[in-house]
């Protein structure tokens, strides 16, 4: 159990800890000279049965409230100290408010220096204390008169602490490890040592950790837990960690850093939170209000962004966004306190809701619904509520990281809620089983209706299909979902088109006969420099308009691409050209190539090579920089022949939306737009 002291300066906190433990927590020479605690002090009291109680002694002077806050985070039990000869004082009230904001529900009130006050004065001070405690979590706390001079109440207090320690439930250690650093120092022959309270999880000797937010990598050489050598440190312990690693030294780690499991390192400087303003705050909290934010052992400048129209009045509670001056390491659900920038008063506090707060649309109705879901502390309840809120899916990896959930807890969440999941890059997107079934039903119905209305088209463009479905998945996620469904045989992918497995687009018998005459002319050995429309018309003795009509229809069906005006390439040929460009780029030291190098590889002549490259430029497959071009690997699947047979959960490298139904830049003879496919005048696909 971790016990923290609180109370006004010179009310006997340090003397009380010394009377209980025999340890003087004033370790600094300046503290001993001035007789006043300046920094955090630590002591330990053995408990019958082999365990121990850790004490965090905090300064009471108003100038050191920020230090008091660093020590108060993570305590299980508080000793609120009030001197019998002095009574309730300003820092008594402020420390009590801080303890209440931090959610410390268990504690005792100690009426110290009782040897200096008579019974009547004691009773009057005790009555004042009860009045102050009335509206706080310590309203029912024990009140014990004590004196370190006469020994009054010390044994009773020690017995109370032993009882509390025996009934204290061990904090869950299933989450990932986090330790809030309050000291960093060097011991001769040992090396760099950091101390702090373990906020969650556990770790052992030899484990790798990260110092967050700096990102410094370290390894745990040895551990002291509750002032004793140990193989593991766990949630609720005060631990000293001997760290080793490149660039690990005392000055590299400071108070406010958090030692974390490497998977938790994701600092944030924009957090959505719930804020409760203290009743005695002088004025309402307005937009962009400047504060000092205290979390665990760190404090940082911040601004409060209101997520509602009205300022937050004294005693009020509201959702806000905290925009920090520098990133911190935190977890969703952590408590925090805000004070004014002059460090003269505590304004309020609350707990963090979402560590990945957006900078835009932060007050949108959908966003506020999401925050209601994030406010639920139980992970399974929060996850279920998020799946019910727009957009009806979320990244489970990010959710688990920000709540410090272990792999076992995350898997349990998947099983409990029956989550449907898709790996997209570093994310693991999840949907509820009900939403997933509805999505598949709507997808099949949309494709069936489209095929009925457009029997001559090979399918629906991916982007057109994506924006018409609910939930509207992000483009990479939608691609991953389609590949999964294709792998299961529920849909078929045909390049940039999606269709039902049984659908096939057909030409009429007359057009099919005509197409069989055209196909050899633009395929075979001539596939990389095919003849234009008028050349084909001359060879076949047919009108240009008929050749153009049929080739545009073939483009609509996905058989050809119009690379330049009246210059059509077979789909297979263009896919081969893209592969040639990829191989060419891979053979270059800088992944860049010239038009001449491309021309030589393709063997199509300079003029045609330029037309091909300009077509690829328009669709983002190649990126031009002067005379050089670089391949955009995110767009390589744009002209791929098929997406079938690919694993459904591989990292998605990108894709593009086909310009289905988009207008041409220009109109005129020979530039008739045909819905579907790619042609030289289609708008480049957005991504």
| pLDDT at residue number 323 | 98
- Cα distance between residue 365 and residue 371, in whole Å: 10
| pLDDT at residue number 542 | 92
Same-domain pairing of 218 and 329: no
Q: How confident is the model at residue 155 (pLDDT cuts 50, 70, 90)?
A: very high
Asked whether residue 423 is domain-assigned, the answer is: no
Q: How confident is the model at residue 72 (pLDDT cuts 50, 70, 90)?
A: confident
| Averaged pLDDT for residues 287-301 | 94
Q: What is the CATH number of the domain that holds 66?
A: 3.40.50.300
Q: How confident is the model at residue 555 (pLDDT cuts 50, 70, 90)?
A: confident
Q: How many domains does the chain have?
A: 5
Domain end among 118, 139, 167: 167
Q: What angle do CA 171, 177, 178 make, to 5 degrees?
A: 90
Q: What is the pTM of this model?
A: 0.76
| Averaged pLDDT for residues 369-385 | 96
Same-domain pairing of 94 and 240: no
Find where tokens 């920094």 sit: 39
Least confident span in 167-181, 354-368, 568-582, 671-685: 671-685
- Write down the H helix ranges in 570-622: 571-586, 595-602, 606-618
| pLDDT at residue number 63 | 57
| Side-chain-side CA neighbours of residue 613 (13 Å) | 26
Find where tokens 């957009």 sit: 391
Phi and psi dihedrals of 562, rounded to 5? -85, 95
356 has pLDDT over 90: yes
Same-domain pairing of 570 and 685: yes
3-state SS, residue 449: helix
Mean pLDDT for the chain?
Answer: 86
Residue-wise pLDDT for 201-260, tens only, equals 999 999 999 999 999 999 999 999 888 899 999 988 889 999 999 999 999 999 999 999
Asked whether residue 617 is domain-assigned, the answer is: yes
509 has pLDDT over 70: yes
Same-domain pairing of 25 and 40: yes
User: How many C-beta atoms lie closer than 10 Å to residue 135's C-beta?
Assistant: 9
pLDDT, greater one: 9 or 312: 312
H-helix or E-strand containing 290?
strand 289-295
Asked whether residue 228 is domain-assigned, the answer is: yes
Same-domain pairing of 503 and 644: yes
| pLDDT at residue number 75 | 84
Same-domain pairing of 235 and 126: no
Residue-wise pLDDT for 524-552, tens only, equals 888 999 999 999 999 999 999 999 988 98
Contact between 17 and 23 (Cβ < 8 Å):
yes
**Whole domain around residue 90: which residue ranges?**
2-167
């Amino acid at each position: 159990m971790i016990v923290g002291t609180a109370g006004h300066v010179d009310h006997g906190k340090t003397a009380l800890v010394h009377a209980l433990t025999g340890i003087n927590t004033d370790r600094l020479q300046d503290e001993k000279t001035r007789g006043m605690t300046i920094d955090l002090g630590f002591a330990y009291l053995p408990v019958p049965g082999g365990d121990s109680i850790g004490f965090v002694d905090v300064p009471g002077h108003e100038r050191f409230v920020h230090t008091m806050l660093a020590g108060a985070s993570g305590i299980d039990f508080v000793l609120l100290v009030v001197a019998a000869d002095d009574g309730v004082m300003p820092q008594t009230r402020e420390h009590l408010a801080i303890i209440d904001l931090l959610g410390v529900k268990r504690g005792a009130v100690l009426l110290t220096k009782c040897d200096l006050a008579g019974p009547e004065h004691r009773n009057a001070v005790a009555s004042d204390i009860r009045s102050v405690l009335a509206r706080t979590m310590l309203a029912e706390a024990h009140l014990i008169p004590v004196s370190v001079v006469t020994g009054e109440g010390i044994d009773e207090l020690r017995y109370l602490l032993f009882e509390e320690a025996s009934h204290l439930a061990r904090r869950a250690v299933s989450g990932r490890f986090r330790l809030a650093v309050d000291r960093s120092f060097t011991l001769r022959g040992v090396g760099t040592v950091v101390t702090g309270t373990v906020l969650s999880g556990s770790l052992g000797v030899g484990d790798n950790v990260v110092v967050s937010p700096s990102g410094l990598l370290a390894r745990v050489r040895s551990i002291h837990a509750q002032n004793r050598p140990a193989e593991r440190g766990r949630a609720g312990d005060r631990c000293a960690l001997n760290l080793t690693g490149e660039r690990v030294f005392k000055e590299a780690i400071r108070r406010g850093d958090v030692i974390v499991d490497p998977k938790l390192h994701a600092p944030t400087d924009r957090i959505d939170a719930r804020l409760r303003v203290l009743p005695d705050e002088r004025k309402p909290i307005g937009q962009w209000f400047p504060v000092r934010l205290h979390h665990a052992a760190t404090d940082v400048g911040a601004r409060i962004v209101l997520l509602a129209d009205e300022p937050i009045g004294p005693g009020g509670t509201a959702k806000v966004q905290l925009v920090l001056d520098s990133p911190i390491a935190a977890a969703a659900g952590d408590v925090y306190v805000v004070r004014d920038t002059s460090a003269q008063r505590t304004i309020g506090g609350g707990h963090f809701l979402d560590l990945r707060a957006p900078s835009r649309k932060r007050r949108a109705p959908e966003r506020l619904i999401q925050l209601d879901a994030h406010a639920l502390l139980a992970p399974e309840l929060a996850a279920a509520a998020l799946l019910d809120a727009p957009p009806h899916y979320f990244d489970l990896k990010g959710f688990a990281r920000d709540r410090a959930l272990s792999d076992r807890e995350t898997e349990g969440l998947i099983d409990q809620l029956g989550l449907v999941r898709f790996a997209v890059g570093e994310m693991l997107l999840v949907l509820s089983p009900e939403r997933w079934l509805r999505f598949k039903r709507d997808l099949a119905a949309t494709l069936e209706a489209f095929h009925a209305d457009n029997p001559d088209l090979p399918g629906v463009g991916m982007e057109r299909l994506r924006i018409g479905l609910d939930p509207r998945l992000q483009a990479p996620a939608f691609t991953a979902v389609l590949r999964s469904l294709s792998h299961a045989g529920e849909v078929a992918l045909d390049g940039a088109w999606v269709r039902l497995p049984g659908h096939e687009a057909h030409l009429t018998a007359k057009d099919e006969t005509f197409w069989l005459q055209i196909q050899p002319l633009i395929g075979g050995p001539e596939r990389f420099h095919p003849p234009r429309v008028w050349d084909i018309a001359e060879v076949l003795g047919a009108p240009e308009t008929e050749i153009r009509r049929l080739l545009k229809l073939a483009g609509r069906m996905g058989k050809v691409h119009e690379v330049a005006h009246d210059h059509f390439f077979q789909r297979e040929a263009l896919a081969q050209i893209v592969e040639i460009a990829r191989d060419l780029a891979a053979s270059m030291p800088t992944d860049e190539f010239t038009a001449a190098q491309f021309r030589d590889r393709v063997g199509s002549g300079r003029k045609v090579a330029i037309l091909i490259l300009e077509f690829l430029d328009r669709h983002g497959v190649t990126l031009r920089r002067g005379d050089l071009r670089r391949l955009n690997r995110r767009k390589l699947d744009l002209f791929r022949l098929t997406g079938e047979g690919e694993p459904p959960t591989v990292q998605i490298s990108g894709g593009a939306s086909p310009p289905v139904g988009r207008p041409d830049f220009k109109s005129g003879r020979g530039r008739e737009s045909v819905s579907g496919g790619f042609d030289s005048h289609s708008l480049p696909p957005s991504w």
